[in-house]
Amino acid sequence: MTERHTILSGSTFEEEIGYARAVMDGDHVYVSGTTGFDYSTMTIPDDVVAQAEQCLRNIGAALAEAKCTFADVVRVRYLLPDRNDFEPCWPVLRRYFGEVRPAATMLVVGLADPRMRIEIEVDARRHTLAG
């Protein structure tokens, strides 16, 4: 039987909506759709590239708590209300995922708050060291 563990970021959304930033289930880690909010201040920048950077910092913190890194990411989903905002984010995304090359999907969708210009979710698989 696999062990299930939740990871919380401190976002008020987690409490209000009833979800976890990430769920570890055995060696699998599922990081919820993550936006560009700085959860310590609950502020979000206007710029989509700055939001993408913050999304990835938030995801990196959840992965670290799950004892993972971006190198363990096997799947990424990008959700944006405006398809024209995706290409400006490519250099940031390439910095995090260029060597990893996870399976990826970009969807144009409505997001929960009009200030949100990008949301990113990832799935990872923790690699245990032999020995």
4-125 — its CATH code?
A: 3.30.1330.40
Q: In the beta sheet, which residues pair with residue 77?
A: 105, 121
Tell me the whole-structure pTM to 2 decimals. 0.91
Q: What is the pLDDT of residues 61-96, one digit of tens each?
A: 999 999 999 999 999 999 999 999 999 999 999 999
Q: What is the pLDDT of residues 7-55, one digit of tens each?
A: 998 888 888 999 999 999 999 999 999 999 998 888 999 999 999 999 9
Domain ranges of the chain: 4-125
Q: Which DSSP helix (H) or strand (E) runs through 79? A: strand 73-80
